[in-house]
Structure 1
Amino acid sequence: MFYTCLIILITFVPMQAATTRRWRDLNANPTFVIFNFIPILNIAFAIFLLFAKKNIK
């Protein structure tokens, strides 16, 4: 059980950091990362982030 929780923690934190960086690249509010904790919204936002255009200045 300990190793399962450790693996989840090791993969979850970098995924949240990458998602937050991607939100900042889109000039969107990074607090939307909270939606990652809701499974259905997590899938929807992952699809959205795949197809969203990057706002490069």
Structure 2
Amino acid sequence: MNNGISTTSQDKRKLEWRTFFLITVVLFPVLSVMFVGGYGFIVWMMQALFFGPPGH
């Protein structure tokens, strides 16, 4: 039965959805954690080596 959409088009659409979910469910959260953790590590190292803890 042909519903007007070719098999290659359906496969491409399926691949696009998988890629979208991979990016939104895996890649963005991992990158967000890495970015925030990296920033915190940089601030921590700067305080430990150069500036000292924040104070008045």
Which one has a bigger Cα radius of gyration? 2
TM-score of the pair, normalised by structure 1: 0.46
Higher relative CO (Cα under 8 Å, sequence separation at least 6) belongs to 1
